[in-house]
Structure 1
Amino acid sequence: MTQAPSAPQTAAAEHTGARTRGPRAGTNNGQWLVSGREPLNANEVFKAESDVLEVRDRIISTYARDGFDSIDGDDLHGRFRWWGLYTQRKPGIDGGRTAQLEAHELEDKFFMMRVRLDGGALTQQQVQTLADISRDHARGTGDISDRQNLQYHWISIEDVPTIWDKLEAAGMRTVEACGDCPRVILGSPVAGVAVDELIDPTPVIDEILHRYIGDPELANLPRKFKSAITGHPSHDVVHEINDISLVAVEHPELGIGYDLWVGGALSTAPRLAERLGAFVRPEEAAEVWYGVTRIFRDYGYRRLRNKARLKFLLNDWGTEKFRQVLEQEYLGRALPDGPEARPDGSASDHIGVHAQKDGNHYIGAAPVVGRMGADTLQGLADLMTSVGSDRARFTPHQKVLLLDVAPDHLDAAVAGLDALGLQTRASAFRRGTMACTGIEFCKLAIVDTKDTATAAIRELDDRLADLELTDPLTLHLNGCPNSCARIQTADIGLKGQLVLGDDGEQVPGFQVHLGGGLATHGRPEAGLGRTVRGLKVTADNLTDYVERVVRRWHGERTDGETFAAWVHRAEDEALV
């Protein structure tokens, strides 16, 4: 370790004061309803030139036929994202060159493909299809993302139309899996089955999908737009870090509906979402989602990409103004005030065996940092058939659930999952560790994450066995500063960078964030992690560091004190 659109027809002038509280007031920040639609950067130019979704036709008719070298640059590095495609990193380029090379120098002639799985919901046939695609087109790869998607690698442009045909025949697609658009909607993995569920959010998710996803009207947002909807009291969709979230709550007079949160996101300027204080009835939830999305489209900042998320607009407007604009301009009516949705303290990763409301059971299992390649997917599909289950779900914690298991099939299902390496009685670190794609495939990454995390899980489970940890400790590894693995909200979050090793040379390592957390794993309050100035750890010394700080917490904690609570009261010296 070392230290060192089609916009609403209202008077724009009424809201030109929206930017007076923010930086550079009076400048053109690219807000369509304030400054007009003149494109102010290269991304806005290519989005304005044509409907980004139309690139699908060129992929099918031209690029898949003529090969990688025929692809137009704006399509390759821009519009392809709207169909879930990014070029992957060329093998053999070390992390020290990530910031030195241009995109075309870093990229291989293969793609990451992201399959959009709203709510993480899958049938047995869909799991089988995912297995087939992995085996036939992706060299056996497959990873559950922290957005409930499945990501492939080694996809060739020639195979893309065939893959789309297979996905769509099974009711899946890649539309708007990436890009400046409404991306996958996180949904409770136990929607419709959990005994303690307040409301099933599936109808709301389905309505949004059918009415709005793939609609060109919403395909040109300032940047990505992330949504989450849950009816479960554990708050199992990390709602605090989404652009919009609907979280089930019971109103004392109006019954069960949703508490509306907006403006959350992490990356290099993390900000937790805020409540608008509004109660949303289930039948108007999709309309409210549509209104918030259009606010982002019409008033979001488009001039600078690093300021083009909803969180920056909310920061400058405040919740009162945001709600006023939503109600007056986009809904045409006021929403009732509502109570805050509070988590019940139960674990939101749903690991283990749980009763369903219909007498069957769902089983939560932990892969190793989300790895779900062809063999595992095929094994899951076969197991589903053998135990009579037609439904599985991926989770926002890179886990997998098997649903609808009858009592007389429980033992076989648990044994079958364990045999696939999907642990149903997962250890603290297997259960709590997440990792982004990392340098293996990502062009932005500086360090390896998946293999590093896998080795750390194995070693920490062995080294810390004497502590008999029963609750998961969240250990999140990210290959760059962008926080795809939510490093600021983990007990131990690790941001990849080059650090100085013992011999003074630059080596792969991590900046350390400690004590973050969301409404998950029993933590009642959400909060961002703490950094200790100069606290960095080499990849080789990672396990030693984590063991040391966990043992220190275990020895110094008060009765029942969580790791995060201890971190926020500990002296810097205790954390190095």
Structure 2
Amino acid sequence: MYRYDEFDAAFVAGRTAQFADQVNRRLSGELSEEQFRPLRLMNGLYLQLHAYMLRVAVPYGTLSSKQMRKLAHIARVYDRGYGHFTTRQNIQYNWPKLKDIPIILDELASVEMHAIQTSGNCIRNVTTDQFAGAAADEIIDPRPVAEILRQWSSLHPEFSYLPRKFKIAITGAPQDRAAIRFHDIGLQAAVNGAGEIGWEVWVGGGLGRTPMIAKLINSFVPNEHLLAYLESIMRVYNRYGRRDNKYKARIKILVHEEGLETIKGQVEAEFAEVRGGVLALPSEEVDRISAYFALPDFAAQTLTKIDVAYESIIDPAYGRWLDNNINAHAQPG
């Protein structure tokens, strides 16, 4: 999995220290709740009816055992012994005390985790499917690209105050296990006629009070141009998305009201301006990030083969369990 470099560590430490000062100013009364609200939302802190709630990002759903133990420690020490994992690969603590939030964020930073951009009108945690990097049917492991998207979207100067929150999901398999068509942007690995791997781009999906299925805006975007294409979509949304009514501010409403072809034309015009510039993604950078996700050396084993087809016939209950719970692994054996 990805490991923080010096920039990542300094970035998270700086944000944690900054928010600790803001919390202290709120506790002292120097900041009112109204003044504190936009500051806490930038750091994943909500105010509920009876307590604060802290949402912690689990980028593309990948956790190490060390991180998992830290999350459990935080639940025991600073909450009520549990947290809630969300459908978008975050974890929420519903009963932390405000005075403890800076300590919790320091604890998270010690295991390379944070709560930045888990709330507010910004690009949220990038998610992928639960078998990412392990499934036999994958065209490509989506986690390196998800990490690149995380880095691109973190505190992006243009997209920190969008019309509404923005969610991106990505899958590297032909079968969509990441619900990409119910996200603002969905990415699905694709192969073009030349055998090159790129991405289908879907836009305008979402659930909530107005559920909509995303529409295909581009059937193939090469890795090299993916950031430029996504930046183009974000700029169009940031420019034309409604800010007068939060219930009509999501990109799904913009796509629905303006029509896919209109939005696509605006995106393509923007893409023509930024394509090939600083947003071009060199293959060397993709390779560098991908190295963090290299599979371990699996020990060779001599396994006893089971005739699962036969076993499923003689035990139908086992067959049903097998159909619903077992998926082919990319690693043989």
Which interval holds the TM-score relative to the shorter structure? 0.7 to 0.9
Contact 2:126–2:168 (Cα < 8 Å) also in 1? yes
Contact 1:195–1:357 (Cα < 8 Å) also in 2? no
Of residues 122, 126, 132, the one that matches 1:191 is: 132
Q: What do residues 443-493 of structure 1 show as CA deviations (whole Å, max 9, x unaligned)? A: xxxxxxxxxxxxxxxxxxxxxxx9x97577xxxxxxxxxxxxxxxxxxxxx
* Corresponding pairs, count: 282
The CA deviation at 1:253 is: 2.3
One-letter identity of the residue aligned with 2:244: R
The CA deviation at 1:215 is: 2.6
Looking at secondary structure, tell me which structure has more helix per residue.
Answer: 2
Segments of 5+ residues of structure 2 without an aligned counterpart are 1-13, 277-293, 304-316, 328-333
Partner of 1:234: 175
1:389-408 aligned within 5 A: none
Instruction: Give the 3 Å change call, closer, same or farther, for CA 222–323 of structure 1 in structure 2.
Output: same
The CA deviation at 1:150 is: 0.8
Contact 2:228–2:274 (Cα < 8 Å) also in 1? no
Of residues 121, 129, 149, the one that matches 2:70 is: 129
* Separation in structure 1 between the aligned mates of residue 68 and residue 146 of structure 2, nearest angstrom: 20
Deviation beyond 6 Å, 4+ runs, structure 1: 54-58, 356-359
The CA deviation at 1:272 is: 0.7
One-letter identity of the residue aligned with 2:20: I
Could you tell me the TM-score, scaled by structure 2's length? 0.75
One-letter identity of the residue aligned with 1:85: L
* Separation in structure 1 between the aligned mates of residue 215 and residue 27 of structure 2, nearest angstrom: 46
Q: What do residues 548-573 of structure 1 show as CA deviations (whole Å, max 9, x unaligned)? A: xxxxxxxxxxxxxxxxxxxxxxxxxx
The CA deviation at 1:218 is: 1.1
* Separation in structure 1 between the aligned mates of residue 75 and residue 201 of structure 2, nearest angstrom: 38
Contact 2:127–2:178 (Cα < 8 Å) also in 1? yes
1:117-516 aligned within 5 A: 117-332=58-273, 360=298
* Separation in structure 1 between the aligned mates of residue 242 and residue 210 of structure 2, nearest angstrom: 15
| Max Rg structure | 1
Looking at secondary structure, tell me which structure has more strand per residue.
Answer: 1
1:22-37 aligned within 5 A: none
Instruction: Give the 3 Å change call, closer, same or farther, for CA 77–184 of structure 1 in structure 2.
Output: same
Residue 155 of structure 1 aligns to a residue in which SS?
coil
Instruction: Give the 3 Å change call, closer, same or farther, for CA 244–68 of structure 1 in structure 2.
Output: farther
Instruction: Give the 3 Å change call, closer, same or farther, for CA 358–144 of structure 1 in structure 2.
Output: same
Instruction: Give the 3 Å change call, closer, same or farther, for CA 305–180 of structure 1 in structure 2.
Output: same
Could you tell me the TM-score, scaled by structure 1's length? 0.45
Identity %: 32
Contact 1:204–1:285 (Cα < 8 Å) also in 2? no
CA-atom RMSD, angstroms?
3.3
One-letter identity of the residue aligned with 1:221: L
* Separation in structure 2 between the aligned mates of residue 253 and residue 71 of structure 1, nearest angstrom: 59
The CA deviation at 1:116 is: 0.9
One-letter identity of the residue aligned with 1:260: V
Instruction: Give the 3 Å change call, closer, same or farther, for CA 331–128 of structure 1 in structure 2.
Output: farther
Residue 167 of structure 2 aligns to a residue in which SS?
strand
1:60 aligned onto 2:17: no
The CA deviation at 1:65 is: 6.4
The CA deviation at 1:189 is: 2.8
